[in-house]
């Protein structure tokens, strides 16, 4: 079945550091890929998405590129801020399906 594997957390960075959170997936066909962010006490918010191979999703300085050859969708940001502290979830939706399959999440803490 479909699955998503994220790098284990927690990740602790200093402000302005470079961020990478790895995400790989297993799915048949061509799934859509997503990154969601969950701030403390809140629900999930869509951060960015990509719907086909080589697409780059971007939002708020975050980027991720859909790599079909490596089945990956790694999240990157060049300079993190304290306000980026949250849990980040990688997810996929199989082609023609409506369900999201999530990874376990990666807790990011950014210190001033």
Partner 1 sequence: DTGVSQNPRHKITKRGQNVTFRCDPISEHNRLYWYRQTLGQGPEFLTYFQNEAQLEKSRLLSDRFSAERPKGSFSTLEIQRTEQGDSAMYLCASSAIQGDYGYTFGSGTRLTVV
Which residues here bind partner 1, judged by CB under 8 A?
4, 32, 34, 36, 41-46, 49, 51, 89, 91, 98-105
**Contact present, 34 and 46 (Cβ < 8 Å):** yes
From the CB of 27, what's the least distance to partner 1, in Å?
15
In the complex, least distance from residue 79 CB atom to partner 1, rounded to whole angstroms: 26
> CB–CB of 91/102 below 8 Å?
yes
DSSP-based three-state secondary structure for 10:
coil
Between 48 and 80, name the residue whose CB sits nearer to partner 1.
48
Nearest CB to partner 1, comparing residues 11 and 44: 44
Task: Tell me how far the alpha carbon of residue 90 is from its chain's centroid.
Answer: 4
Shortest approach of partner 1 to residue 51 CB, angstroms? 6
Nearer to partner 1 (CB atom), residue 51 or residue 72: 51
Residue 109: partners with Cβ closer than 8 Å, 6 or more residues away: 10, 11, 12, 13, 85
Cβ proximity to partner 1, 17 vs 100, nearer residue: 100
> Considering only CA atoms, which of 54, 36, 57, 39 is closest in space to residue 103?
36
Least distance in angstroms from the C-beta of 89 to partner 1: 5
């Amino acid at each position: 079945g479909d699955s998503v594997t994220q790098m284990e957390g927690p990740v602790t960075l200093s402000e302005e550091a470079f961020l990478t959170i790895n995400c790989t997936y297993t799915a048949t066909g061509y799934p859509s890929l997503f990154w969601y962010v969950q701030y403390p006490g809140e629900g999930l918010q869509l951060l960015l998405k990509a719907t086909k191979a080589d697409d780059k999703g971007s939002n708020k300085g975050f980027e991720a590129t859909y790599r079909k050859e490596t089945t990956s969708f790694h999240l990157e940001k060049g300079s993190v801020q304290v306000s980026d502290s949250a849990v980040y979830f990688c997810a996929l939706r199989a082609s023609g399906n409506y369900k999201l399959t999530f990874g376990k999440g990666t807790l990011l803490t950014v210190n001033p």
